[in-house]
Amino acid sequence: RMSSLAALVATLAAPVMTWYLEPAGESWKVIAFLAVIIYWRHRENIVRIATGKESKIGKKKDAAPPDAGKSAG
């Protein structure tokens, strides 16, 4: 139940499906290039997914301490 994993799978599927639907076209190359950029920009998320540290849908983050965000002064 990780939305980031679903997004990465969809990103990987996009150039494949584009090539499948239009094998003679060149647009799949552009989409594949964009997919590489997306994977590069999200490499930290990929590491968190691989290590099981990525947050899941519906799971709340740990609450911040009561004085968090207050300035001293």
Write the pLDDT tens digit of every residue in 5-39: 888 899 999 999 999 999 888 999 999 999 999 99
Q: What pLDDT is recorded for position 17?
A: 95
Digit-coded pLDDT (tens) for 31-52: 999 999 999 998 888 888 888 8
CA–CA gap between residue 19 and residue 22 (Å, rounded): 5
CA–CA gap between residue 69 and residue 58 (Å, rounded): 24
Q: What pLDDT is recorded for position 54?
A: 73
38 alpha-carbon distance from chain centroid: 8
pTM confidence score: 0.64
CA–CA gap between residue 43 and residue 51 (Å, rounded): 12
Q: What pLDDT is recorded for position 36?
A: 94
